[in-house]
Amino acid sequence: MIELHATTQGKLGYLTGDTDAPDSQDPKFGKWKIVDAIVKSWILRTMEPSLLNIFHTLPIAKEIWNAVNQMFYNGSDISQLYELRCQATCLKQEGRHV
C-alpha cells in the first residue's frame, strides 16, 4: 500500500532511489528533505511500536524501505508475504506487540 500511495502522490522515486538527494548546499535540498520526511512518515505510521524502534533511526525513506523489504520479504515467495500478513493480523487481534 505504501508503494501505491507513493506512486499516486508522485513520490515513488523516494522509495526506489530514483529521486536522489541533491547536494546539501543545493537550494533544492531543503524541499527534498521535507518530502523525504513525509515519505518516511508514510512508512513509519504503518508500523507497530516495536518495529518503529528498529527503523525510525534510518536517515532517508529509501533506506527504511529497503530495510523493511529485506527483513520481511525477499520478493520470491508470495505465500511468505501472505503468511506474514496473517501472523501480523493475529498478533494485533490478540493485543500483543511483537
- In tens, the pLDDT along 72-98 reads 766 666 666 677 777 777 765 556 555
pLDDT tens digits for 3-25? Answer: 999 999 999 999 999 999 999 99
pLDDT tens digits for 43-78? Answer: 999 999 888 989 999 999 999 999 998 887 666 666
What pLDDT is attached to residue 77?
65
What pLDDT is attached to residue 50?
86
The DSSP string of 20-89 is PPPPTTSTTHHHHHHHHHHHHHHHHTTS-HHHHHHHTTSSSHHHHHHHHHHHH--SS-HHHHHHHHHHHH
Q: What is the pTM of this model?
A: 0.72
Q: Which of 31, 39, 98, 42 is nearest to 71 (CA)?
A: 98
